[in-house]
Chains A and B, each alone.
Chain A
Amino acid sequence: MSGQSLDPGGRYNGVTADAVARHASAALPDDATLVDALQAGDVDMFSAVVDHYHRSLLRVATTWVRSKEAAEEAVQDTWLAVITGLPRFERRASFKTWLFRILANRARTRAVRDGRLVPFSALLPEGTDDDDGPALERFAANGQWAVPPSAWDADDPEAQGLRKEVGAVIARAVEALPPAQRAVFTLRDIEGLDAADACNILDVSETNQRVLLHRARTRLRAAVEAHRTTR
């Protein structure tokens, strides 16, 4: 494959990996500007969108398909469907809600075709009390803290460094979350979708969505705490 010839003078022609990485982390413009640009055929804006959502799309796709390859194919199918649907996109939903709806649809379709659909309901964990907060041993019999949370929060004097560190721990730990928690956390906290959209995309009840979100945040908080006490 020659990526170079596809885009003479564009970002893949003599652009350093570093520049591409910077491009990927740049924030996208507001929805109206973004969709206007895409509908007008701005291919560089499209590339930026593909970069921006890549990891989250993969993460959510693995909710229904289990292999990395199948998830990558579902993401590719999604972009093809986005390109096809763009001229008719009416902006009743936000672009990202539309995008993740297409992804859910493509991933399910692919999983059914391969005979490997994991229904979201099958991913709903039974869960124990320890999934919903610090272990019982950290509380006294009367329910008060026996081993209170260690000191790290936004008031920390080293707040800036702390935030960076928390971000790095989350980036790693999010990949290790159980699939349903990972999907909800990705849509809600990483992508900032509201609860109704997340429920709709994942086909999960509002209550289950909230339980999964809480368990995900609980685990990630615990991962940061563990990281800070063992460093």
Chain B
Amino acid sequence: MMPTCRDVTRKATALDEGALPWLERMALQVHLLMCAHCRRYVAQLRLVRRQAATLPRDAAPGELQAHVRDWFKHRTP
């Protein structure tokens, strides 16, 4: 049973996570080879994932920093 485009969008994470049985995985990969729209969709999900890993980090509030630095200094020999 060949997966539809709709199936691909529903199973993209399971595919990336290696959570699908061999036959289903092969069928999805064949679909992706043939379908540019689904390739784009899956690429966009992966782009979201990649960008999440590089989100800028805000500083913690100064008050929290002051507390934890104080604790840290008093507990480290």
Contacts and interface: CB of A to CB of B under 8 A. Distances in A.
A116 interface: no
Interface in A113-153: 129, 132-134, 136, 139, 142-145, 148-149, 151-153
Main SS of the interface on chain B?
helix
Given A83-B72, A139-B4, A218 B60 contact: no
Contact-residue size bin, chain B (C-beta under 8 Å from the other chain): 35 or more
B58 A43 contact: no
Given A54-B58, A148-B40, A170-B51, A210 B65 contact: no
Given A47-B69, A139-B6, A167-B54, A41 B77 contact: yes
Q: Is the interface of A mostly helix, strand, loop or mixed?
A: helix
A148 B9 CA distance: 11
A125 to B, nearest CB: 15
Interface string A40-57: 010100110011101100
A102 to B, nearest CB: 13
B59 A54 contact: yes
Given A21-B58, A43-B69, A55-B57, A218 B4 contact: no
B48 interface: yes
A6 interface: yes
A99 to B, nearest CB: 13
Given A7-B69, A46-B72, A190 B4 contact: no
Contacts of B5: 139, 143-145
Interface of A: 1, 3, 6-7, 12, 20-21, 23-25, 41, 43, 46-47, 50-52, 54-55, 72, 75-76, 79-80, 83-84, 129, 132-134, 136, 139, 142-145, 148-149, 151-155, 163, 166-167, 170-171, 174, 185, 189-190, 192, 195, 206, 210, 213-214, 217-218, 220-221, 224-225
Give 4 closest A-B pairs by Cβ, nearest first: A143-B4, A133-B9, A41-B76, A214-B13
